[in-house]
Amino acid sequence: RAAIANQLTSCLTEILFASALDRAGFLDAHLAETGQTLGPLHGLPISVKDTFYIRGIDSSVGISALAFHPAQDNALIVDTLLAAGAVIHCKTNVPQSVLALDSVNNIFGRVLNPRNRHQWTAGGSSGGEAVLVAMRGSVMGVGTDVGGSVRIPAFVNGIVGIKPGKGRISAKGLTTGQLPAAGKVGLEACVGPIARTTDDLELFMEVIENGRMWEVDPEVKAEEGWWTRSPDPALPLSTKLQAEKPLRIGILPSDGITTPLPPVAAALHRLTQQLQTHHKTTIKLIPINPTATGFSASQSLANKFFSAEGSAHLLSLISSTSEPLIPWLSPRLRQKPPATLDHFRALLARRDALQTQLLRTIWKDNDIDILICPVAPHPVPPIDGWNAVGYTSAFVLLDWPAGVVQVGEVRGEDVRGEMEMDGEVKGEWDGVNRKLWAKELREGYVGSPMAVQVVGPPGRERRCWEGMKILERVIGMGKVEGERARL
């Protein structure tokens, strides 16, 4: 299936089928000799994003200058998966430099969305990973997320994914082509799983906890029981669906900067109506105003972190072989002077102040258990058409766990008739987003996946996942109770 998926969508970079067959033989022998599996992932084909080192294999991250430079060691996440019995059978395609939201590079080509290979984006930067999982060429996969790179591909390919908090899963052995530790001068990438169901996400997170990464990587902010034994006494959230005190869900309709297009607003409205109609005694919806709470300040601040390092090394690396920038990066990636120490200190101070403010104005003042919001202000856009990243990058800036769960598809009624955008254009991001509502584009959205983000407060990955699970059950998008990954 992985081979067929790659022929149709260019979703792979490194094909490791020969070593995977050797690994499968070893696992079969182990089971025959001991009568026991090696771990909970015994024999399961698992893929990883090209950014993760595998000993003896390239991690070119879509940059030709990095081709034919095999890694010396495995990433810690790779060793953890192998210890649990996984078979790593391939690495998946990414955009050039992994800094784009459409996955294309000059080495392996463009990743195509299998639901509509000629029109819809496959997302980025974990686009190859999401496509492979969606096509059942991998049971589950590992991506990274610094601006939405797990959540956006999961959304556009009709599957699920979760971005944990910073440092929950080790990034040791992760490369983006930049200088060592350059990612710390900005927003740090979070490692997260991509899968077909929330049950699969739970299995992955259990493996991660049992891998005890904190004993090897000092950057890991976790300890025994951080996932399986949540410290939050309000959990499990599912008990609130039967208890006297209802589950309190905050509804954030926009980021306050870019107005959602009608199909996005319609999907969120349908979801809230369903929750209110069928669960009015067990779920209480709390509207969250992005401007009044201060959430609307997140996007501009996140963008300043993205440009803090200046991109000089990255652009020099790309230009060293005279390769052109990909279309999504060409108008966006520019070399700038790196932020001065005092400027970066000021950015950190602003981030800390915003984190503190929003803990109060969103979580404490509203006494909510989880937060629901769109993944983007537009449906799945045309190839290279992804616009605003503020709906996803905000939760990396704030370091809140966030996952994506499917809520249906764009309907014909969402795009037909006199459904024009109301109100004045709020700014450049909003203006570009409204161009995606051009009449000639609308019909192309029909049938595309529609998803929402489920967000938890900082340090509450399990709560975030339980919110996803509850939503999946409520809207009937989930699988049979207890079903986990299978090909």
- Catalytic site positions: 49, 125, 149
Give Cα 132 to chain centroid, integer Å. 15
Show the CA angle centred on residue 295, arms to residues 294 and 298, nearest 5°: 110
Per-residue tokens: 297: 């300040």
Give residue 486's identity as a one-letter amino acid code: R
Contacts of 372 (CB under 8 A, 6+ apart): 249, 250, 251, 252, 268, 271, 452, 453, 454, 455, 467, 471
Q: Is 31 exposed, middle or buried, given 0-12, 13-18 or 19+ CB atoms closer than 10 A? A: middle
Element (H, E) at 371: strand 370-374
Give the H or E element holding residue 347: helix 341-358
The C-alpha atoms of residue 408 and residue 405 are separated, in whole angstroms, by: 10
Q: How many other C-beta atoms lie within 10 A of the C-beta of residue 417?
A: 9
Distance CA 186, CA 85 (A): 35
**347, 304 contact by CB (below 8 A):** yes
> Cα–Cα distances in Å, from 385 out to 75, 380, 381, 388?
32, 9, 5, 10
